[in-house]
Amino acid sequence: MATTAILSQDDVEKILKGIIIPSPPQIIADLQMEMAMPDPDLNDMARLISKDVGLSGSVLKTINSSFYGGRGADSISHAVMMLGMSTVINIVNTLYLRESTRLKDMTDEMFTALNNFWDSATDVARICLLVSQRIRFHHADTAYMLGLFHNAGIPLMMQRFDHFPNIMVDAYASQIGRVVDVENKLLQSNHAVLSFYVARSWKLPEVLCNVIAQHHNGVEIFTTGTSTFIPEEKQYLAILKVAEHITSLYRVLGNQEEDLEWQEIGPNVLEYLGISEFDFEDIVACAADMGIGGQSYIYS
């Protein structure tokens, strides 16, 4: 049976006190609804995106970037033909999710911090996609969404608590318990649960919401064998953990030189995915060719 983050109403209210969970714009709901149809009309979906001049321009700019091979798409319909609607929708989600955490009266420091965070989140999503393709996981586009949304609660915590980046440093440096345990102790809430609520608000599949809620339970899930995660959830989580490690989130978010969580679960994760040491090194090299891995977005 799949695991779910079960909280009382009082718990929910405490966690969300002073925090507004962003909701997706109507276009996201419309695209999701069309994609769920037995025979989705890709032309109608392309026209829907094209109606928003600003959005379609940003989508084309992204698709024509070096990451997607400089495809030279000159319209959303052309982009859909080259990359498929799932990829285009992932890009739309990325753009809107970034925008949803921006405030009208942000300091320059907060603006920069949020941009840096979403740059790192997008890189995690891209490596989730890369790893999924390497292991021939049939839901690569969904794995991309997991990488994008799994830490979506962090910008909300940054807006609510000025000292949250310092708490993340302490959390990643702790050699006892989970990253979220430090947050729970100091703030009575944590970014994984908030990320769960963002994912649920955007109507991501239940399996992704469950993984997001528990994505810092890796030691329990991959080493003790006591988790109730179903195989699909465990597969998604394993892909995410590889992506987190390759993109150096321990450095990006925690300002640490070593990935303490990966040291505990890394070999088990790679074994679970059937990734050899040689294959892993090749994935790391491919990520480096994409400009991903080892950099620090937030700290210098």
CB distance 146 to 211 below 8 Å: yes
3-state secondary structure (DSSP) of residue 110: helix
Tokens coding 142: 């969904």
- Which pLDDT score, from 0 to 100, does residue 131 have? 97
**256: pLDDT strictly greater than 60:** yes
CB atoms within 10 A of CB 67: 14
Could you identify the residue written with the tokens 């088990």?
268
Residue 143 one-letter amino acid: A
Residue 30: how many CB atoms within 10 A of its CB?
14
Are 125 and 95 within 8 A, CB to CB? no
Q: How many CB atoms lie within 10 A of CB 177?
A: 13
Helix (H, G, I), strand (E, B) or coil at 228: coil
pLDDT digits (tens, 9 = 90+) for 114-136: 888 999 999 999 999 999 999 99
Is the distance from CB of 189 to CB of 15 less than 8 angstroms?
Answer: yes
Q: How many CB atoms lie within 10 A of CB 36?
A: 9
Least confident residue range of 70-74, 81-85, 120-124, 160-164: 70-74
Is 112 or 285 the better-scoring residue by pLDDT?
285
Q: Residues with Cβ < 8 Å from 69, sequence gap 6 or more?
A: none
- Residues 56, 67: Cα–Cα separation, whole Å: 18
The type of residue at 300 is S
How many C-beta atoms lie closer than 10 Å to residue 222's C-beta? 22
- Tokens (6 digits) for 99: 């925008």
The helix/strand count (H/E) of the chain reads as: 18, 0
pTM above threshold 0.95 = no
Tell the residue number behind the tokens 């840096």, with chain if given.
116
Tokens of 207: 């399996």
| Model pLDDT for residues 217-239, shown as the tens digit of each residue | 988 899 877 677 899 999 999 99
Where do the domains of the chain lie, and which CATH numbers do they carry? 24-100 (no CATH), 105-300 (1.10.3210.10)
Contact indicator for 27, 55 with CB cutoff of 8 Å:
yes
% of residues, the chain, pLDDT over 70: 91
Q: Which H or E run includes 175?
A: none
